[in-house]
């Protein structure tokens, strides 16, 4: 019997039920374990992934590609698609995705516009995975974030999780907060007033879980289990002066961690600019590089399920 993810797109984290997210997390754990024994599997032999990136990326694209290689599949990579693909000639995302569907069994796309993944999916005849559509969503980051929380803290239920920084434009926190709302968690949201979580999303979250919105970082750090730090998304600001006004709003220093909560788990989707001091990196709770590693397992699980190679 095929799994419920077979042949599906992943455009928003809301496309997945809690049970489907749990299936992906369980599969990620199995694949991580298998790869410790056998670095390359053959689950997706003969399958081709196309990565189409219209925006900069290091971790997302390379971890998807690493994941596909480890599953035994092949990869077609368009890393600067805005410049080097026919988008530069005016081709629509739907047409491009329709054509690429003839060359690959799965498309992973990142693009600066909100709902660009939906546009690609309208043209594609193979599944499309959203690897970030502007400031909207980044569902596969949410999967690896949940996987990381589970690994670092042993469980998701019962945790108090805080998100700090650019909650307005940060697509990772949009997808992760929606996913966390399936569990019994408390969510604290810390940002300057100009970068608060979009009101509609905050409202939706409050209907499902306890949400506190505040500007007081150290008080929340003392009380929470995990702190998810984000970069201020400079590329989303129309006026550079507005970016300059908020760019140094919150900086996590070693002293702040040690004086408020030395046990805290610190996450960040990366890249960081200056929001976590580098001397935090060797604290035991600094999980962000382990989090980036987890992208491979979560993405292997997702692709193996969508391409119906596991159950």
SS3 133: strand
Q: Quickly list DSSP for 67-82.
A: HHHHTT-EEEEETTHH
Question: HSE-up of 196 (CA within 13 Å, CB side)?
Answer: 13
What the block records as the tokens of 43 is 């689950």
Q: Does 59 bind ligand NCD (CB under 6 A)?
A: yes
- Cβ nearer to ligand NCD, comparing 47 with 299: 299
* Contact in structure between 132 and 88 (CB atoms under 8 Å): no
| 155, 185 contact by CB (below 8 A) | no
User: Could you confirm whether 59 is annotated as catalytic?
Assistant: yes
Q: For the CA atoms of 287, 290, 291, 297, what is the dihedral angle to 10 degrees?
A: -150
Instruction: Specify the DSSP element, H or E, that contains 256.
Output: helix 254-260
> Is residue 178 flagged as an active site residue?
no
Task: Give, as ranges, the residues between 82 and 121 that touch ligand NCD (CB under 6 A).
Answer: none
Q: Indicate whether 174 belongs to the interface with ligand NCD (CB under 6 A).
A: no
Identify which of residues 138 and 178 has a Cβ nearer to ligand NCD in the complex.
138
Give the span between the Cα atoms of 201 and 141, in whole angstroms: 18
89 is catalytic: yes
CB of 128 to ligand NCD, least distance (A): 17
Q: Smallest distance, Å, CB 40 to ligand NCD?
A: 24
Provide the mask over 199-238, with x wherever binding to ligand NCD is found by CB under 6 A and - wherever it is not: --------------------------------x-------
Q: Which two tokens stand for residue 84?
A: 């080097």
Is 210 one of the annotated active-site residues of the chain? no
Site for ligand NCD in 134-173 (CB under 6 A): 138, 141, 171-172
When the beta carbons of 27 and 141 are compared against ligand NCD, the nearer one is 141
CB of 67 to ligand NCD, least distance (A): 14
Return the number of other C-beta atoms located less than 10 Å from residue 40's C-beta: 9
Residues 6+ apart with CB under 8 A from 253: 277, 279, 280
Distances (CA, A) of 184 to 16, 157, 205, 209, 221: 17, 5, 12, 7, 19
Identify the active-site residue in 47, 59, 111, 174.
59
Q: How wide is the angle at C-alpha 171 spanned by C-alphas 24 and 231, nearest 5°?
A: 115
Q: Among residues 47, 69, 105, 110, which one is catalytic?
A: 110
User: In the bound complex, what is the minimum distance in angstroms from residue 14's beta carbon to ligand NCD?
Assistant: 17
Minimum distance from CB of 4 to ligand NCD (Å)?
26
At closest approach, how far in Å is the CB of 108 from ligand NCD? 12
Tokens (6 digits) for 206: 């409050």
Is 234 in the active site? no
| Interface residue with ligand NCD, options 60, 177, 188, 249 (CB under 6 A) | 60
Nearest to ligand NCD of 147, 260 (CB atom): 147
Q: Which of 269, 286, 296, 305 binds ligand NCD (CB under 6 A)?
A: 269
Catalytic residue among 47, 51, 60, 182: 60
Residues 217/250, Cβ–Cβ less than 8 Å: yes
Task: Point out which residues bind ligand NCD (CB under 6 A).
Answer: 59-60, 132, 138, 141, 171-172, 231, 269-270
Report, as residue numbers or ranges, the catalytic residues.
59-60, 89, 110, 138
């Amino acid at each position: 019997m095929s799994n419920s993810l077979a042949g599906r797109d992943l455009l928003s984290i809301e496309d997945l039920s809690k049970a489907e997210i749990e299936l992906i997390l369980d599969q990620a754990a199995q694949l991580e374990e298998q790869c410790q024994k056998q670095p390359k599997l053959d689950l997706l032999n003969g399958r081709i992934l196309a990565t189409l990136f219209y925006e900069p990326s290091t971790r997302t694209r390379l971890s998807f590609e690493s994941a596909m290689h480890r599953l035994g599949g092949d990869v077609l990579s368009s890393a600067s698609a805005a410049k080097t693909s026919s988008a530069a000639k005016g081709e629509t995302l739907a047409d491009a995705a329709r054509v690429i569907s003839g060359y690959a069994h799965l498309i992973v796309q990142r693009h600066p516009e909100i709902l660009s993944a939906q546009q690609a999916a309208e043209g594609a005849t193979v599944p499309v995975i959203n690897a970030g559509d502007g400031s909207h969503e980044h569902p596969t980051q949410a999967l690896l974030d949940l996987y990381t929380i589970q690994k670092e803290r042993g469980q998701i239920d019962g945790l108090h999780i805080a998100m700090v920084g650019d909650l307005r434009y940060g697509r990772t926190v949009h997808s992760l907060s929606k996913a966390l709302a399936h569990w019994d968690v408390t969510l604290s949201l810390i940002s300057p007033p100009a970068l608060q979580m979009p009101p509609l999303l905050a409202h939706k979250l409050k209907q499902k879980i306890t949400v506190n919105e505040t500007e007081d970082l150290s008080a929340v750090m003392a009380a929470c289990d995990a702190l998810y730090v984000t970069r201020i998304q400079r590329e989303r600001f129309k006026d550079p002066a507005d970016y300059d006004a908020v760019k140094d709003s919150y900086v996590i220093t070693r002293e702040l961690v040690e004086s408020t909560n030395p046990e805290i788990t610190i996450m960040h989707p990366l890249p960081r600019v200056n929001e976590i001091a580098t001397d935090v990196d060797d604290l035991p709770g600094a999980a962000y590089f382990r989090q980036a590693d987890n992208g491979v397992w979560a993405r292997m699980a997702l692709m193996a399920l969508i391409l119906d190679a596991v159950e």
